[in-house]
Structures are given as C-alpha cells and as structure tokens.
C-alpha cells in the first residue's frame, strides 16, 4: 500500500511522510511535520499547527514528529514546539481519539491512547502504554508515567507515577495490576511493585524521602520496582497521592 492523500487534504511543502501513510479528506499536515510509516490521519485533524502560546514567533523553526503506526482520529490537534530545533513528539502505535489535543513540546511514548477530548497542555510527558480517559485535562509540565490509567474527566495538576490509576483531581485510586498483567509483566515483578506502591502511598512523610530510602535500603530489586521508585526523584510539580493516605498535601518535597 502506497502513501495516499485524499481529496481536500492539505500536506504543505516540506512535510515528510513515511511509507504507507494515509491522509484523509480535510486533514492538514503542515510543513513542520515528520510522520513515520503507516500513520493514519483522519478528517479535519491539524498536525503541526502553531502552538497556543502568546509570545510565539511564527518564524521559529520547530516541528512535530509522529511515530510509525499511530492513528490520529477526527479533529485532533497537535501543536509544534515553541523552541527552535525542537519538536512535539508522539511515539509509535499510539491512538489519538477524536478531538483530543496535544499541546506544544509534549513527549508522548509509544502505545499511548488518548480518548475523546483528552487535553494535554504544554510540556507534558506521557509514558508508554498509558491510557488517558475522555475529557481528562493534564496541566502543563506534568509527568504521567508508564502504564498509567487516567480516568475520564480527571484533572491532573501533579506528576503521576508509573503503574498507577488516577482519577478526579490528582487522586491515585489504585495499582494498575490488570494493565501490567496484560503487558506480560512477570508475577514476581508485579508483587514487588504492589509492595512498593503500598510503601510509597501509605507511608506518612515526604514522598521523595520515602522513595529514596526504599531504593537505598535495597528492599526492591526488580527493574520495574526500581523504575517506579526512581520516578519520585524527578519533576517539579509534586505528586498525585492516594486518597486514603494520611499525608499532608504539602509534604511532596516541592
């Protein structure tokens, strides 16, 4: 199957399309875009549009990169970076449902699903295999980890660690064990992750300190558990917390 561009689609000069892409009627691919192989863009989506940033200079040479196999449904908007030489990045085999929005300078991993009307503000990062529910809004500069489930209509203003489920306003509501089983995580790793989850979210105190102590003590040895704990060493926005944790909201180490 060769790359196809349907009637009334706009692909600006300078855009780069991989093999076997399909650009459907009414879609817009600006000159700032690089699309991998087998990318499908449905009607009336705009990929590579200018960022919604009041100080942006339209002469800035920035872009958007879309990974192979990603599907972009109707009315999706993906804005280019505000920085010269930089790009908003969508990974491979993602599924961006109708009317979802990815703002400038986001970094989206592979196998990520954004449901209808999901909204990502600027500089958001999303890990592989994460699902963002319909109508959810994510504040700028937030980090959303790997294999996270974000509930529909959630309001996320803090970082969300790997392997958890989050809902409402920054409320961690559980461990995403089902998602990890579907990905084929080994049972010992899942059991260790559950224990690390309990330590982090149900131990009073500074969450960064709790995570650092667990790492230093060597209590968790699997690569998955250590990756979970290492998440808490980064970021600047504080962390989504479990709704039952007896922890002061300001005690995030921020």
Per residue in 199-227, pLDDT (tens digit) is 999 999 999 999 999 999 999 999 999 99
- Mean pLDDT on 166-192: 97
Mean pLDDT of all residues belonging to the chain? 95
Q: Which domains does the chain have, with CATH numbers?
A: 4-141 (2.160.10.10), 183-242 (1.20.1180)
Per residue in 10-59, pLDDT (tens digit) is 999 999 999 999 999 999 999 999 999 999 999 999 999 999 999 999 99
Q: Take residue 194 and report the two structure tokens written for it.
A: 């559950």
Per residue in 221-250, pLDDT (tens digit) is 999 999 999 999 999 999 999 976 433 333
Asked if the model's pLDDT at residue 251 lies above 50, the reply is no
Q: Are 60 and 54 in contact (CB under 8 A)?
A: no
The pTM score is 0.94
Q: Are 147 and 180 in contact (CB under 8 A)?
A: yes
pLDDT of res. 1? 73
pLDDT of res. 173? 97
- Mean pLDDT on 97-120: 98
Q: Are 87 and 65 in contact (CB under 8 A)?
A: yes
Q: Which residues are catalytic?
A: 104-105, 122
């Amino acid at each position: 199957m060769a790359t196809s561009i349907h009637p009334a689609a706009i692909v600006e000069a300078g855009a780069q399309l991989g093999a076997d892409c399909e650009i459907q009627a009414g879609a817009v691919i600006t000159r700032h875009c690089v699309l991998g192989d087998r990318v499908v863009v449905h009607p009336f989506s705009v990929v590579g549009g200018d960022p919604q940033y009041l100080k942006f200079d339209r002469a800035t040479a920035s872009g958007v990169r879309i990974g192979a196999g990603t599907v972009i449904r109707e009315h999706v908007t993906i804005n280019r970076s505000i920085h010269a030489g930089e790009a908003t990045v969508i990974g491979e085999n993602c599924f961006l449902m109708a009317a979802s929005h990815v703002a400038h300078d986001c970094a989206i991993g592979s196998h990520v699903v954004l449901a209808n009307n999901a909204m990502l503000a600027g500089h958001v990062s999303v890990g592989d295999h994460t699902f963002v529910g319909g109508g959810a809004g994510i504040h700028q500069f937030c980090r959303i980890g790997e294999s996270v489930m974000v509930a529909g209509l959630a309001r996320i203003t803090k970082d969300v660690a790997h392997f958890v489920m989050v809902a409402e306003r920054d409320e961690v509501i559980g461990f995403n064990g089902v998602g990890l089983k579907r990905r084929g995580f080994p049972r010992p790793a899942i059991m260790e992750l559950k224990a690390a989850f309990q330590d982090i979210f149900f131990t009073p105190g500074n969450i960064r300190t709790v995570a650092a102590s667990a790492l230093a003590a060597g209590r968790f040895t699997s690569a998955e558990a250590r990756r979970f704990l290492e998440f808490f060493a980064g970021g600047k926005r504080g962390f989504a917390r479990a709704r039952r944790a007896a922890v002061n909201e300001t005690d995030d180490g921020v």
